[in-house]
């Protein structure tokens, strides 16, 4: 897989989104390339989730355009975006915790067998496929497709959702804070899965707070502050401290830390 095909699969041009008197996104432009991981960084409320919702078809932009594979595109619904190959995985992975692995894997695109009125859900195929796809992503502990999604660990749930997206040929995979609720080991595992998806030529958009995780897998980075793109750079162009400062809203993180230190210092003296 070449490191980066030169043509972006998805491109935002001057996109703004206004909700009843409040501007969530302001003139944001972004390019997403196949086989690359774009890390979307930003503090809470910076507009990351609005941006994801625009990309995945939940919202249409108020102004600006979205281009898909070089063509201007309008995603009228999540289903519309989904059909083009944009898959979104949320923080807790599978959204159907009380469904079995096999069933949730195929929600909306159920495999069937039989004919006419006897056409029925092919549970065996669904379970086997789901388990196989997860095992290919390194989740070898899961052998039974009948298990409930809710019984999986956080990392396994992420894996099942990513496996699903990969299986159905997603071209763009949006991961919303996939590592936020995970322990160190599980998070590492999810990062490895992200690399696997990237190597398959999928364009990955990784939304995260965690600068270390971003630096580990990211090829390209965009930082959002109050709905605006504050910075946009490739791997190696910024140091970790610069990125942290940016994410904190432009203030020097070092100053904040110094301030915190004096506070804790004071408290220590009282005790």
Partner 1 sequence: MSAKATASKAASKPGFDITNIARRPEFGALIGAVAVFIFFSIAGGSGFTDAGGWASWLNVASEVGIIALPVALVMIAGDLDLSVGSTLAASSMTMAILSGFFGLPTWVGVIAALLFGVLVGWLNGYLVTKTNLPSFVVTLASMFIVMGATLGATRLIVGSTSVTMTADPFFQIIFGNLIFGLFETAVVWWAVIAIIVSWVLYKSIFGNWIYAIGGDMISARATGIPVNKVRIALFMGSGFGAALVGVIQTCIYNGAQVAAGQSFVFNSIIAVVVGGVLLTGGYGSTLGVILGTVTFGIVNQGIYYTGWDADWAALILGLLLLAAVLTNNTFRRLALSGGKKEKKND
Give the footprint of partner 1 on this chain (CB under 8 A).
56-58, 77-79, 82-83, 92, 95-99, 103-104, 106-110, 112, 119-121, 123-124, 127-128, 131, 135, 140-141, 143-148, 150-154, 181
Q: Which residue, 182 or 214, has its beta carbon nearer to partner 1?
A: 182
Residue 236 has φ and ψ, to the nearest 5°, of 90, -5
Q: Which residue, 78 or 249, has its beta carbon nearer to partner 1?
A: 78
In the complex, minimum distance from the CB of residue 84 to partner 1, in angstroms, rounded to a whole number: 13
Residue 49's alpha-carbon distances to 26, 125, 156, 205, in angstroms, are: 14, 35, 23, 12
Q: Which residue, 21 or 116, has its beta carbon nearer to partner 1?
A: 116
- Dist CA 28 CA 31 (whole Å): 10
- Dist CA 41 CA 48 (whole Å): 8
- Dist CA 187 CA 191 (whole Å): 6
Q: What is the 3-state secondary structure (H, E, C) of 16-38?
A: EEEECCEEEEEEEEEEECCCCEE
Helix (H) and strand (E) counts in the chain: 9, 12
Q: Which residue, 181 or 248, has its beta carbon nearer to partner 1?
A: 181
Q: Which residue, 63 or 151, has its beta carbon nearer to partner 1?
A: 151
In the complex, minimum distance from the CB of residue 180 to partner 1, in angstroms, rounded to a whole number: 11
In the complex, minimum distance from the CB of residue 62 to partner 1, in angstroms, rounded to a whole number: 21
Which residues make beta-bridge pairs with 228?
A: 225
In the complex, minimum distance from the CB of residue 49 to partner 1, in angstroms, rounded to a whole number: 14
Q: Which residue, 123 or 235, has its beta carbon nearer to partner 1?
A: 123
In the complex, minimum distance from the CB of residue 88 to partner 1, in angstroms, rounded to a whole number: 8
- Dist CA 113 CA 105 (whole Å): 17
Burial class (CB in 10 A: 0-12, 13-18, 19+), 26: middle
- Dist CA 19 CA 59 (whole Å): 10
In the complex, minimum distance from the CB of residue 165 to partner 1, in angstroms, rounded to a whole number: 12
């Amino acid at each position: 897989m070449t490191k980066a095909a030169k043509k972006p699969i998805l491109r935002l041009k001057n996109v703004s989104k206004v909700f009843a008197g409040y501007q969530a996104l302001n003139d944001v432009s972004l390019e997403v390339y196949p086989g690359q991981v774009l890390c979307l960084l930003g503090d809470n409320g910076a507009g990351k989730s609005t941006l994801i919702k625009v990309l995945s078809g939940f919202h249409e932009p108020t102004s600006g355009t979205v281009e898909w594979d070089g063509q201007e595109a309008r995603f009228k619904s999540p289903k519309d975006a989904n059909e083009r190959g944009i898959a979104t995985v949320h923080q807790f992975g599978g959204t159907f915790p009380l469904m079995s692995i096999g069933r949730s894997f195929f929600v909306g695109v159920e495999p069937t067998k039989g004919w006419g009125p006897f056409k029925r859900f092919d549970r065996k195929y669904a379970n086997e496929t789901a388990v196989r796809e997860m095992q290919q992503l390194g989740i070898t502990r899961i052998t039974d497709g009948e298990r409930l999604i809710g019984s999986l660990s956080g990392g396994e749930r992420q894996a099942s959702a990513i496996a699903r997206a990969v299986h159905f040929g997603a071209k763009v995979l949006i991961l919303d804070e996939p590592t936020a609720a995970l322990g160190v080991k599980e998070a590492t595992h999810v990062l490895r899965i992200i690399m696997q998806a990237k190597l398959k030529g999928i364009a990955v958009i990784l939304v995260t707070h965690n600068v270390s995780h971003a630096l580990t897998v990211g090829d390209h980075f965009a930082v959002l502050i109050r709905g605006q793109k504050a910075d946009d750079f490739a791997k190696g162009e910024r140091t970790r401290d610069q990125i942290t400062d940016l994410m904190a809203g432009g203030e020097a993180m070092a100053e904040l830390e110094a301030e915190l230190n004096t506070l804790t210092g004071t408290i220590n003296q009282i005790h």
